[in-house]
Amino acid sequence: MDAGRALGGLLLLLTVFIILIEEGLGIECYCCNTKYHGKECDDLETISPKRKELYAQNCALLGADKNYTQCRKIVQEVEDDTRVIRQCATVGNDGCVKRTGTQKIKMTYCECSGNLCNTAANRYDVSTVLFLCASLVSWMVVKLSDI
């Protein structure tokens, strides 16, 4: 086996190892509530990355008795008051569900499975991006070694 193929295989193995470690650490979600944290919680996309970090929470640290596997964003409308709640979740399906109740109550629940995915914008899971980058680098190393 030549050095290029060995390096490509090593990079791929390292990527899989990093993904497994990341998965074992638990999911990270943004956790905040506009009632307590103000407008920042409503629109995380407009605040600085450093400020946004303050709301990032490793869900595994919230309790050993819970098995957090997802992130959730809730938009709760009661009459003229709208509240946004971002939190860790134990159950749910990726996507959004809208509910309407009595007394002018509307709720929208959005759940997702990637780290820090409960923002307004769609995000790619870090594991997926890492795997794709490592695969591309491995492929390039193998192709360049053939030259």
Name the nearest CA neighbour of 119 among 80, 58, 75, 67.
Answer: 75
Residues 114-126 pLDDT 10s: 999 998 644 444 4
pLDDT at position 74, please? 96
Phi, psi of 142 (to 5 degrees): -65, -45
Residues 15-37 pLDDT 10s: 645 554 444 568 999 999 999 99
Residues 87-102 pLDDT 10s: 999 988 899 999 998 8
The rounded distance, in Å, linking the Cα atoms of 116 and 129 is 14
Q: Contact, 83 vs 76, CB < 8 A?
A: yes
Domains of the chain listed by start with CATH number: 3-145 (2.10.60.10)
Q: Is the pTM of this model over 0.85?
A: no
